[in-house]
Chains A and B, each alone.
Chain A
Amino acid sequence: MARKRFSQQKASEQGPSVVVFAAIKAKKLRHPVRSIIATALILIGLVVAVDAAFRPAYDWPAVAKYLFDHRVLEALVNTVQLTIFSMLIAIVLGALLAVMRLSENGVLRNLAWLYLWIFRGTPVYVQLVFWGLLAVIYQNISVGLPFAEPIFSWQTKAALNAFVLAIIGLALNEAAYMAEIVRAGLLSVDRGQEEAATALGMSWWQTIRTIILPQAMKVIIPPTGNEIISMLKTTSLVTAVPYSFDLYARTHDIAAETFNPIPLLIVASFWYLAVTTLLMIAQHFIEKRFGRFESYAKAKNSRYKRSRGVN
């Protein structure tokens, strides 16, 4: 209010023409229906929240009791580890598959296509069950020449525990999706960039590493962030292996002892949401950083054009 009065005062000081201008006021269009809907939604939300706070089934004291239970926190660490390890493998393998799909070698191209066809065409849950049965299908893992005594041999069960199998299962499935993301990124870079680098005498790998990938990153990173968030939630399926020390399976098992599943579902949801939120914040900053050279150049460029009177 004070500011408004001040500006009116100033306007009247500046002479009659400004006063005339100030008299014609532009009013914003009002949206009464929108306001009514918004008010109604807020009221409904409040009612649900208050109701939830006092509803015995949610058993908030139990939620508070188990939220920082050491078994839950350990399970949270396991879930985060499953996410990180499987995504790291998936990104590397996905990049490899993407390069194979763009390769001039037909065998590599078709192999990559076959991989994508299988791993994208079957549910991840089914794949995880398969990985869990690996020790049944292949009792031993051997390294050596066919039809000869193996040089090394391990018992599958002893070499690969459920945690490792869960990571392999998640990673190999995710690699198929990462491959498409990386491929789109590589294809987004103008061909002239590769040509210029080659003409300067750079090797194929130097070109990919220093010229193509850095520019592809701004296309690759946003969907990869989404994949990481999605992976965090997909880890809840590793019970198919069966691995039972992740957040969902652990809270489920605790609930089976206490016969009180609902508060533990809330506990699990709370932690999934907490980690997802952290990931979203990280994603925001990383995207900003990798878009830098372009947005920076664009901003300066438009300023430059404006100052020269070009549009």
Chain B
Amino acid sequence: MSEPMVKIDSVYKKFGSNLVLNGISVEVKRGEVLCIIGPSGSGKSTLLRCINHLETISAGRIFVDANLIGYRQSGESLYELHPRDAAKQRREIGMVFQNFNLFAHLTVLENVIQAPLTVGKVARALAIEEAKELIARVGLTAKLDSYPAELSGGQQQRVAIARALAMKPKLMLFDEPTSALDPELVGEVLDVIRDLADSGMTMIVVTHEIGFAREVGDSLIFMDAGEIVEAGSPRDVLLSPQQARTQEFLSKVL
């Protein structure tokens, strides 16, 4: 068997004295979709942000494609990487935020080519060509020259996905990608994520869309208070949860 794409090995994270991640271990195989559900404040966003080292970790190790993220190991100790090297690792990991965070001063096309141009040193003509393909893939060719403020939330999130894909990541992280959307706009974003899953992208998706998790997820974890309470196939966890905490959460969400 080949290496998993993501290997999270007993990760702890403290904010001051607040233990936010309490020994998280989980693996994501290549081409798999891992869904994360759990109540607000349970550490889901923090876990995602540790995976691309937007956040440092207090203990444990995270590997993406067999590379230790954010640190260099020497004996029993981990040494934080130089920001330059951490930035290099992030290029291979796409991230999509709850609030889209599109660059407000750039058009749709400019948003998508920005990172390939400044980070990837791709030639401009090539970057534009690839960006147009990605924008077409999320169905927004008509909006190439629009600014984010002119787009609906659903359209902005689709651009944000295209922007992340422009760096040709091996792994995509989604942090509640539809939570800030009006209900009628959720579907268009989930469709794009579903297509991406079908194309074989490895993904970790934090979501409250239980139906989507069951349909698209290959595995699912339920987090509470910084711990993985229950893990398994989405079907098993969602339909016949074993833990009382999971049952309680699901009864509220469903």
Contacts and interface: CB of A to CB of B under 8 A. Distances in A.
B119 A202 contact: yes
Nearest to A209: B118
A304 B105 contact: no
Nearest to B173: A199
A210 B95 CA distance: 19
Contact of A210 (B84, B94, B102, B114): B114
B149 A201 contact: no
A294 interface: yes
Nearest to A200: B115
B103 A201 contact: no
Interface in B122-155: 146-150
B254 interface: no
Interface in A186-208: 190, 192-193, 195-204, 206
A196 B119 contact: no
Interface string B166-179: 01000000000000
A214 interface: yes
Nearest to A192: B101
A154 interface: no
Contacts of A293: 104-106, 147
Contacts of B101: 190, 192-193, 195-196
A206 B118 contact: yes
A15 B9 CA distance: 85
Contacts of A294: 104-105, 149
A301 interface: yes
A296 B147 contact: yes
A298 B148 CA distance: 10
A104 to B, nearest CB: 12
Given A195-B54, A195-B97, A201 B90 contact: yes
B99 interface: yes
A99 to B, nearest CB: 15
Main DSSP-derived SS at the A contact region:
helix
Contacts of A296: 147
B109 to A, nearest CB: 13
A201 B115 contact: yes
Contacts of B147: 293, 296-297, 300
A283 to B, nearest CB: 20
Nearest to B114: A210
B158 to A, nearest CB: 15
A198 B167 CA distance: 13
B133 to A, nearest CB: 18
A301 B87 contact: no
A210 B118 CA distance: 9
Query: Which size class do B's interface residues fall under?
Result: 20 to 34
A203 B149 contact: no
A300 B118 CA distance: 29
Most buried by B among A201, A298, A300, A301: A201
Nearest to B48: A199
B103 A211 contact: yes
Given A296-B147, A297-B148, A203 B105 contact: no
B104 A215 contact: yes
Nearest to B91: A201
Contacts of B104: 190, 193, 215, 293-294
Interface string B80-95: 0001100110110111
Nearest to A198: B54
A215 B106 CA distance: 10
A180 to B, nearest CB: 23
Contacts of A202: 87, 115, 118-119
A210 to B, nearest CB: 6
B150 A196 contact: no
Most buried by B among A196, A197, A214, A298: A196
A297 B149 contact: yes
Contact of A200 (B99, B106, B163): B163
A230 B208 CA distance: 55
B52 interface: yes
B97 A196 contact: yes
28 contacts: A190-B101, A190-B104, A195-B97, A196-B95, A197-B103, A198-B90, A199-B54, A199-B90, A199-B93, A199-B95, A199-B164, A200-B114, A200-B164, A201-B88, A201-B119, A201-B167, A202-B118, A203-B83, A203-B87, A206-B119, A210-B114, A210-B118, A214-B105, A215-B103, A215-B104, A293-B106, A293-B147, A294-B149
Closest A-B pairs by Cβ, 6 of them: A201-B91, A297-B147, A192-B101, A297-B149, A196-B101, A200-B115
Interface of B: 52, 54, 83-84, 87-88, 90-91, 93-95, 97, 99, 101-106, 114-115, 118-119, 146-150, 160, 163-164, 167
Interface of A: 190, 192-193, 195-204, 206, 210-211, 214-215, 293-294, 296-298, 300-301, 304
Given A195-B54, A200-B90, 5 more contacts: A197-B115, A202-B118, A215-B103, A297-B148, A300-B150
